[in-house]
Structure 1
Amino acid sequence: MDYGNIRAVETTGASWQTSQQDRLGYSGETASHTMAETDAGRMERESRAGNALTDGWGDYSPKRGAWNAWGLMQVDVNPEGGNHTPVGEWDSEDHLCQATKILVDFIKLIQSKPEFSGLSKEKQLKGGIAAYNAGDRKVHSYEGVDENTTGKDYSNDVVARAQWYKKNGGF
């Protein structure tokens, strides 16, 4: 099934907040590209290539006193969020297959939304990436695709990094 060409997805890149993970003095696509290059040796992983995880867990919630996400692709385990049960080890093929299926499900949900149904596969892909982070109910339009995502830039940053990897690493 065709979900679009990552190289053709429009992106603004990382927000100032996200770029501060590396203490960069700039934001945008250049910041995403710089962070991608920094993580290139660990490319197979999300969450800064696994660098931001604690024993496979990420996105700690002080309010809940628990972790919200599991594994390289940060599958949402929060009962108030995705409520998924982790599959496999945090860096395993089983985990990646689970997370990829979740992403594809979100892309399909976004494709079925009236606000996205007539848009290009690339715009639907970007919406699906945003929904993977925030949930499909929080993705209301392409123009505001990241308004409810982490850093308010999740899909833009993910796309910019993916484009850098595609161009520079052949991934």
Structure 2
Amino acid sequence: MVYLIVGLGNIGAEYAHTRHNIGFDVVDRIAEDAGATWEDRRYGFITTVRVKNQTLLLLKPSTYMNLSGNAVRYWMRERNIPLEQVLVVVDDLALPFGRLRLKASGSEAGHNGLRHITQTLGTQQYARLRFGIGNEFPRGGQVDFVLGTFEGDDLAQKPEALARAAEAVKSYALQGIDRTMNLFNK
């Protein structure tokens, strides 16, 4: 079975490893652990990773966050992947740093990448793994915070948090969403 695992982020060196790009960082970690290399293809960078008896098609859209749905729709059609086998990895301001929240569906919670995916697919019924980036910013400082890089304790804990998120993605493909939610939504 093939799963489309979409890490959300923005392309360009100025966005690399920012909080908003944690989705890219998670799929990069999965690819790195598997020794996979990325290919620059239509609507994004892709690579394929085997996890036991499952195949993960990893995608980093090159459409910028606000148009992520175009890449998701294209690769779902290109590889004939049903909605039930799509997982979007996304940053979440409402969760403390490193906290994971896997859901089978839900609202966009103000996230422009999820909003565009929902509009493009015409449904909220796709799985998403929310990765907490914290919300320690002054009033009016949300954009700078989200587009800033990790610092201090968050930076020190980032490798472990990315490893845990990568394990959650693999568990999703191997054990299903319900079991994975029970294991990782703590």
**Structure holding more strand per residue:** 2
**Structure holding more helix per residue:** 1
TM norm. shorter chain > 0.5: no
Compute the TM-score of the two structures, normalised by the length of structure 2.
0.28
